[in-house]
Amino acid sequence: MSSMRIRLVVAFVFAALSGAAWSQEQAFTNRSTELKDRASGEARTVATLPEKTAVKVLERGGGGWTRIDAGGQTGWVRVFHLRFPATVETSSSGGGFLSGITGALGGGRSSQPTTIATTGIRGLSPEDLKNASPDTEALAKMQSYRSDKATAERFARDGKLAAVSIDDPAGGSSSKGGRR
């Protein structure tokens, strides 16, 4: 093969792969969800997207957020509210020697579009922790829900709740849900 022909083949493969890498990923909403102007639950809601809205993924952000385009409106949604289509190969035969031969020859299998939900959320990096800013109002609100033991026992008694013994999965002694 000539040097020029190899260069053309390499250029063609590179162009084909780079186009696939830069294409926008298709998805759809798996429930009604709010489209936010930034990747935050406290951000302003731009629109409410109904279930099964087709979207284009523009960017995957940290903290479980994804920037999308939904019919010309761009914004951020929680990645858990998205489903991504995929193609899965299924076999029409039960297996065995003949299915191995037909599979090797390209028979006995069909590609069917289906939906698979796969989501990964990265953890917090040391940089995230270093740059964190506490929300003192939210902390104070959470602490206001705290209850002391006497109040919890009174609540359980008034609600006619019964203590339940739970075995320790680590093999320790069982504990009760409260004193009697």
> Per residue in 134-179, pLDDT tens?
888 988 898 888 888 898 889 889 989 888 888 887 766 555 544 4
Residues listed for the chain: 180
Neighbour tally for 25: CB within 10 Å: 14
Given a contact cutoff of 8 angstroms between Cβ atoms, the answer to whether 165 and 175 are in contact is: yes
> Per residue in 62-115, pLDDT tens?
778 899 999 999 999 998 888 887 644 454 445 555 555 555 555 555 555 555
**CA–CA gap between residue 95 and residue 160 (Å, rounded):** 57
Predicted pLDDT at 123: 66
The token pair at 147 is 């209850």
pTM: 0.41
Ordered by where they begin, the domains of the chain are: 24-116 (2.30.30.40), 135-174 (no CATH)
Write the CA distances from 110 to 26, 99, 104, 172, integer angstroms. Answer: 22, 13, 13, 52
Over 80: is that where the pLDDT of 38 sits? yes
**CA–CA gap between residue 96 and residue 82 (Å, rounded):** 38
